[in-house]
Structure 1
Amino acid sequence: MSYKAVLFDLDGTLLDTIKDISQSMNYAMQKNGLPVYAIEEYKYLVGEGVYNLAKKALPEHLQNEETINCIVAQMKEHYEKHWADNTVLYEGIPELLNYLTSKGYKLSILSNKPHSFTQKIADKLLDKWQFDVIFGERKPIPIKPDPASALEIASIMGVNPQDFLYLGDTSVDMYTANNAGMYAVGVTWGFRKKDELLKSGAKLIINHPMKLSQIC
């Protein structure tokens, strides 16, 4: 197999962000007298953007626009101040990025996290490596698993979608990869399990970043 570029999901793939996300969401929930969740529970609530995270966290009778938007705003306000408290690169990611760079692969990032946060976090924690394109959620462009942003990235980078490896840790990522015609690689060090990744179309499962070197 021959590829030219790698598109990475951010949360759960490059970076372990779950503790900071969960603490910021719990802050918003608690501020409004609502139930909070454990970190392990948040691993199954995240992945579809902050709006959907808030909607899924709220009791069904409170899943209205006003309440969701209130929780989103308060979560973002807290996250703005605390996103870097616990967030770190996963073990093996620096080595993988060094390896891919040395082999001449073009790199990019696509997240359902708001674009401003995605850019800020990447600039702070991934600044040692060159990413040609970094996209988060950019309204009104639909979020993953819609392939619009992935295909836009391919166009900007001048690489055919079929020449991309797409690394992600959730079903949303596997669906996005397949929808865009990219090679879907599921990673098991993130937020979800192997079975979910396979059922949603992973072509390859890896349990450590450097395992990717076996195909590129």
Structure 2
Amino acid sequence: MKYKNFIFDLDGTLLDTVTDLQNSINYALSLYGYGKKSYDEVRSFLGNGIRRLVELSVPNGVDNKNFDHILQEFMTYYNNHLIDCTLPYENIIAMLDILKKNKCKIAIVSNKADAFVKNLVDTFFRGYVDISIGQNEKIRQKPHNDMVEYALRNLNIAKNDSVYLGDSEVDIETAKNSGLDCICVSWGFRSREQLLNSGAKIIVDSPLQIPNYMDVNND
């Protein structure tokens, strides 16, 4: 199957954001005397948004009396350290360049807060992305299909010409709920084995494999 439109997850698919997220959650935890989380722990917590990351990092989760304060401290710190270490994965820009030169539509849908998504897209992907959508109060987060449907509607693109790309079980479920084919990436926050166990049908090992799924007759 070939596609004209590519709808991407952000963290773990296009951007390696783990270190900045780890530093931010550990800063917030340290203010209340809680132990630090390792890189691998934080990596495994990602996929369902920042609130879920904090919930899994804090003892007793949302029942912790300091939960809301820790969440706010995280948000403030992360806002100021959003791109300290974050970078696109190798060959992501080259891949996006190929898609764009072939007139493909490119969307990003993320469970990260919308303001953070817009900032990151403007920093790293300006000129490549036709629409980006992050978590906000007006739209349900993934794996609900709301973000994908919003992108499809606003870009006036058809589902049968579109594919969803991501790195986690949340993305596989999002694609399913949206009625889209799914391409999973092996360089993100979940292992190949985890992706297969979650129902992945197609897994790519390099961003430069993604244009192989492009409709080269795109008009």
TM-score range, shorter chain: over 0.9
What is the distance in 1 between the residues matched to 2:124 and 2:186? 21
Residue 92 of structure 2 is matched in structure 1 by 93
Structure 1 range deviating more: 155-164 or 182-191? 155-164
Alignment length (residue pairs): 214
Instruction: String of CA shifts for 1:114-160, please: whole Å, max 9, x gaps.
Output: 00000011101111x33221000011421111111111111111112
Query: TM-score, with normalisation over the residues of structure 2?
Result: 0.93
- The residue number in structure 1 matching 2:153 is 155
Q: Distance in 2 between matches of 1:166 and 1:203?
A: 12
Aligned mates of 2:99, 2:204 — CA distance in 1 = 16
Q: Post-superposition shift, 1:191?
A: 1.1
Structure 1 unaligned runs (5+)? Answer: none
Q: Which secondary structure does the structure 1 equivalent of 2:83 belong to? A: coil
Letter in 2 for 1:34: Y
Q: 8 Å contact 1:184–1:201 — kept in the other structure? A: no
Using a 3 Å threshold, how does the CA distance of structure 1 residues 66 and 117 change in structure 2: closer, same or farther? farther
Counterpart AA for 1:118: V
Aligned counterpart for 1:170 among listed residues 150, 168, 171: 168
Distance 2:159 2:201 in 1: 15
Unaligned runs of 5+ in 2: 215-219
Query: How big is the shift at 1:65?
Result: 7.2
Secondary structure in 2 matching 1:107: strand
Q: Matched residues in 2 for 1:116 and 1:204: separation? A: 31
Residue of structure 1 in register with 2:39 after alignment: 39
| Residue from 188, 191, 199 that aligns with 1:190 | 188
Query: Quick check: 1:209 aligned with 2:207?
Result: yes
Following superposition, the deviation at residue 40 of structure 1 comes to 1.2
Q: Deviations over 1:44-76 (max 9, x none)?
A: 11111111111111112x532753221111001
Contact 1:20 1:84 in 2 (8 A): yes
Percent of pairs with identical residues: 33
Equivalent residue, structure 2, for 1:125: 124
Report the TM-score, using the length of structure 1 for normalisation.
0.94
User: Who is 2:142 aligned against?
Assistant: 144
RMSD, aligned CA: 1.4
Separation in 2, partners of 1:65, 1:135: 30
2:98 maps to amino acid: Y
Distance 1:68 1:135 in 2: 26
| Consecutive aligned runs of 4 or more in structure 1 exceeding 6 Å deviation | none
